[in-house]
Amino acid sequence: MGKIRSVLKMPSIITGYLYFYIHFVVEVLCFFVLARLAGDSTFLWMAPLLYDALAFVPQAVIGYVSDKFPKIKMGYIGVIFLLTGFILFGLGLVNTYISLSILCLGNAFLHIDGAEVTLRTSNGKLSHSAIFVSGGSFGVITGKLLGTSNLSFWILVVLGLSMIPFIILANMYKDDIKDDVLKFDYANKKMNGGIIILLAVFVVIVRGYMGYGIPTSWNKTVYQSILLYCSMGLGKALGGILSDMYGVKKVAILSSLLALPFLLFGDNLMIVSLIGVLLFSMTMSITLALIASVLKKAPGLAFGMTTIGLFIGTVPIFFFKLTTVVANGIVISIFTLLCVLIFKFIIKGDTYE
């Protein structure tokens, strides 16, 4: 417990907590809109695809611009876009595609600001960015639930405005950091940087696909859905925290291997499946740290590469489905073992105090 407490009290870890909240609110607003659109058959297929494309893919370009021009405050631009898109959608003033696109861009800008803030203030540790990314899972399920309720969208506008002081404070911490080179050093130096990025993105693609492909027949009630997303969020945060405590390589390989049996045999057993989801989500911050170890001067671009991976991983879901548990199990097993092998080669040996 003492070890966890010392990680959770690391210098500048507050940026992770600040961006946990901001990320949570961003996803609440976005998934509120997506849940409202799910009732419309025209958007049932297109809205989630558009969201994945316009919220995930542009992050690499926005991130690169942010890396090159650090004086541009991506967080403020993000809030303006997000709230404009949200209000336009709520009032129905423009075509839904336009408001949804603006909302997605706001999401992308805020994600990049979160990545820049947490990676730059982390002093080479993973916990900051892991806590930041974990907030999204809690936001997704909250947004989905609120979207299916009768809640007025104006209440969520107020929630959106509450992000502003958090963004200001987080950016103050970032501005205190003078060194523009990240202290991440987890990638195997004997390997080519480009190959490390490609392989790390491949792991993200697999995780993106599996996030939807995991067999969860047990998930039938609202309460069970909440538990599923909470274990995802908890896993993402724990991945970074445990990596800082015990080493990136150990956590990456062990969590991937241990997740496999729990995911395979958890189709009808909620607790078993939840443990699997928690373990499987742990690699999120590790892949980011690996790419950031190669692109040390471009944390925004590094984060954007992971979101491109997530997009590529989720695209197949819109087109085909594996319908039997056996087929799903075979795919999950093969890809997990591949990811373990990749981690074994691209992460350098753990040297932790």
Q: Which residues bind another protein (CB under 8 A)?
A: 42, 45-46, 49-50, 53-54, 57-58, 60-61, 64, 97, 193-194, 197, 294-298, 301, 304-305, 308, 311, 318-324, 326-327
Q: How far is the CB of 286 from another protein (least distance, A)?
A: 19
Q: How far is the CB of 27 from another protein (least distance, A)?
A: 20
Q: How far is the CB of 81 from another protein (least distance, A)?
A: 16
241 by DSSP, 3-state: which?
Answer: helix
The C-alpha atoms of residue 207 and residue 214 are separated, in whole angstroms, by 10
* Cβ nearer to another protein, comparing 13 with 294: 294
- Smallest Cα–Cα separation from 207: which of 16, 338, 27? 338
* Cβ nearer to another protein, comparing 45 with 352: 45
Q: State both tokens at 211.
A: 């996030």
Cβ count within 10 A of residue 76 = 16
Question: Are the CB atoms for 289 and 248 separated by under 8 Å?
Answer: yes
- Smallest Cα–Cα separation from 343: which of 133, 186, 145? 186
Q: Give the angle 186-190-194 at the CA atoms, nearest 5°.
A: 75
Q: How far is the CB of 107 from another protein (least distance, A)?
A: 15
The C-alpha atoms of residue 109 and residue 114 are separated, in whole angstroms, by 9
Q: How far is the CB of 352 from another protein (least distance, A)?
A: 25
Q: What is the DSSP letter of 55?
A: I
Q: How far is the CB of 226 from another protein (least distance, A)?
A: 26
Q: How far is the CB of 212 from another protein (least distance, A)?
A: 11
* Cβ nearer to another protein, comparing 35 with 54: 54
* Cβ nearer to another protein, comparing 5 with 190: 190
* Cβ nearer to another protein, comparing 56 with 173: 56
Q: State both tokens at 325.
A: 């548990």
Q: How far is the CB of 63 from another protein (least distance, A)?
A: 9
What's at 233, amino acid-wise? Answer: G
* Cβ nearer to another protein, comparing 38 with 53: 53
Place of tokens 């040996």: 349
CB-based burial label for 325 (10 Å; 0-12, 13-18, 19+): middle
Q: State both tokens at 4.
A: 């966890």
* Cβ nearer to another protein, comparing 4 with 191: 191
108 by DSSP, 3-state: which?
Answer: helix
* Cβ nearer to another protein, comparing 58 with 139: 58
| Distance of alpha carbon 67 from the chain centroid | 19
Q: Give the angle 277-254-190 at the CA atoms, nearest 5°.
A: 120
